[in-house]
Amino acid sequence: MKKAIYYMLISAVCFTAMNIILKSLDHFSGPQLVLFRALGSLFFTIPFLWYHKIPVFGIQKGLLIARGFAGVTSMGLFFVSISYLPVGSAVSLRYISPIFATVFAVFLLKEKVKPIQWLFFVIAFIGVLLAKGFNPQIEGLGLVLVLLSSVFSGIVYVIINKIGHRDHPVVIVNYFMCISVLVGGTLAIFNWQTPKDFEWLILLSLGFFGYFGQLFMTKAFQSQATNKVVALKYVEVVITLVAGVLLFGDSYPWLSLVGIALILLGLVLNIWFGKRKAVYKKR
């Protein structure tokens, strides 16, 4: 239990660091940020696959490629949205992706959803309306971009569910990063800005924090204490909100904060209820 808590908190800190760095680098184009985010992670994924002699190209190539393109679209839209939104709002709004994942799973994977889970989604959606309606810093374009990012993130969840355990998780991530390099690198050509001095290192650190954030979150979820630590995943939102206020001068009307709290409440309840159902089924 203690290890799971430590892993989840380390993950939250890593993702928060990545979010803050993204906000500080918003003078770079979205594709260029995607490119460096991917390059930084490939530094870890490729050696891992070679060392453990895991086939780099995987088994389900079609699904792996689809996951890569859906992932890079979601990531690119999120990176661009940060230029238009307070960083804390962008992170919290992107977390509604499980709503879209559930909708897609119902229609594409024929999964069943209990009525109470839809109630939790309504709570989260009301939170989105409050967060947008009472925060003048949330621009319409930024909101559209981050919601579209959540839609594609939901598609990613469904594809990963379809991939299952036939392909190694690092193979899935490696495909994602390789496709991100291709897409981000190609689009970055049209609006390239040469990094200066330490900006090269800071850009590559996006991949470092992103990779280890994902790694420690996976380790936490692999523990037997998943139900007890899953809510800590959203510590990232709280830390990012505070960092946004202190570092970038973001401000949040109290009703907007209530909206963000409702988003997190709805999502945590849905995850908790879903895990609880899985436990009862095993019994």
Residue 220 sits at the vertex; the CA angle it makes with 122 and 11, to the nearest 5 degrees, is 80
User: Scanning the structure block, which residue is given the tokens 């906000």?
Assistant: 23
The pLDDT value recorded for residue 194 is: 92
pLDDT at residue 279 above 50? no
Residue type, 167: D
Lowest mean pLDDT among 2-11, 13-22, 225-234, 236-245: 225-234
φ/ψ bin of 110: left (φ > 0), alpha (ψ from -120 to 50), beta (otherwise): left
Round to whole Å and give the CA distance between 115 and 233.
24
Question: Which among 237, 247, 249 has a CA at the least distance from the CA of 16?
Answer: 237
User: Scanning the structure block, which residue is given the tokens 């985010």?
Assistant: 37
pLDDT at residue 272 above 60? yes
The pLDDT value recorded for residue 228 is: 58
SS (H, E, C) 186-212: HHHHHHCCCCCCCHHHHHHHHHHHHHH
The pLDDT value recorded for residue 274 is: 62
133-188: per-residue pLDDT in tens?
767 778 889 999 999 999 998 898 888 888 888 888 889 999 999 999 999 999 99
Which tokens in the block code for residue 7? 């892993």
Round to whole Å and give the CA distance between 41 and 206.
8
Q: pTM for the complete prediction?
A: 0.84
Round to whole Å and give the CA distance between 163 and 242.
37
Round to whole Å and give the CA distance between 267 and 251.
24
pLDDT at residue 29 above 50? yes
- Output helix, strand, coil percentages for the chain, rounded to the nearest 5: 80, 0, 20
Domain of residue 92 covers 2-282
Round to whole Å and give the CA distance between 16 and 212.
12
Structural domain tally of the chain? 1
pLDDT at residue 247 above 80? yes
Round to whole Å and give the CA distance between 162 and 155.
11
Average pLDDT (118-126) is 87
The pLDDT value recorded for residue 149 is: 94
259-268: per-residue pLDDT in tens?
888 988 888 7
Lowest mean pLDDT among 11-20, 67-76, 193-202, 214-223: 214-223
